[in-house]
Amino acid sequence: MKHSVRAFYKTSERLAFRVDIPAEDFEQLKALMAWTEPDDPVYEYELSNEQIGSLEALTGKKFGSPDYLFFLSCTRER
């Protein structure tokens, strides 16, 4: 599984950008998202401002903005 933060324009709901979360940070991501069930990591989640701030700290990238809707997304690695 590969996780990323995806930002969508509020006005058009088109993808603006994505920020990949390194696989080695999975345990921190799991704690941040409060996942408890084995299937929890495979769903898409809308992110709160608090979660966005924590993900910025985790990734070392500043991306939060009121112009976007943020989701945590999961894709299958090939």
pLDDT of the chain, 78 residues: tens digit per residue: 899 999 999 999 999 999 999 999 999 999 999 999 999 999 999 999 999 999 999 999 999 999 999 999 999 876
Locate the domains of the chain by residue range.
23-78
Q: Contact 25/17 with Cβ under 8 angstroms? A: no
- CA 52 to chain centroid, in Å, comes to 8
pLDDT at residue 57, as a whole number: 96
pLDDT, position 77: 72
Predicted local confidence at residue 53, as pLDDT: 96
- DSSP letter at 47 equals P
